Amino acid sequence: MARSMCGRFSLTSPVEAMRRVFDFPERPNLAARYNIAPTTNIAAIRVDKNATGESRHYFSAHWGLIPSWAKSTEFSAKMINARSETVTEKPAFRAAFKSRRCLIPANGFYEWQKLSKGAKQPWMIGIEDMPLFAFAGLWESWKSADGEVIESCTILTTTASKSIAFIHPRMPVILEPSRFDPWLRGEAGTEVLKAFDADRMTFYKVSSRVGNVRNDDADLLKPVDPPPTQARLL
């Protein structure tokens, strides 16, 4: 079965580091996660409006968007990504794009390079000068027939930066910190949903162990052979 892009990532930074970068007041008890997989709950940040204005807040969201009008959670696993080129058109995403945006913190993401005879090589991909960064995301709130409420999210994707396109033709949308607020407030449009600066991307091969969701340990971040000069261990 083909793996989605973006289908795995890591978030290992301490909560206090996350609070400094994303400026939220909550202090969630988060363990380091080296192999975050779809349909699990992940960290996210959104803007909440109140009597004193707007402020960023942390929340936990099921990774795999469940539109508010969905009859069940059945298709959540197929909604982990939203293509930036069509996000304003697709019924599952267009309402969230208008008014329910979020940031999804990460230290790096994995992608699988197709090799000969069906083999695949996993890579860890990050940013040289931003060891903690954010994917552009959308979120939704869904209520079941028996009253259960699930908040869910999806990660936007775009054409890959030229430096990593040989691994996979697409990548998650990564936002510069200066674009956090315009994105969250709905002031930024699809013009920000572009490939990240190719010269700032880092990448190196990692163990095929990352393909098993049960593996979630620091060894997954270790290079399996000497990394290229532009790559470093996140």
pLDDT in tens, 59-79: 999 999 999 999 999 989 999
Helix (H) or strand (E) holding 96: helix 94-99
C-beta pairs of 16-23 under 8 Å, 24+ apart in sequence:
17/132, 18/43, 18/58, 18/105, 18/132, 21/105, 21/132, 21/177, 22/56, 22/58, 22/103, 22/105, 22/134, 22/180, 23/56
Tell me the pLDDT tens digit for each residue of 154-204. Answer: 999 999 999 999 999 999 999 999 999 999 999 999 999 999 999 999 999
pLDDT given for residue 69 in this prediction: 93
Q: Which pLDDT belongs to residue 226?
A: 63
Under DSSP, the state recorded for 188 is: -
pLDDT of residue 225: 79
> Average pLDDT over the chain, rounded to whole?
92
Residue 2 pLDDT grade (very low, low, confident, very high; cuts 50, 70, 90): very low
pTM of the model: 0.92
Of residues 234 and 104, the one with the higher pLDDT is: 104
| Residues noted as catalytic | 6, 111
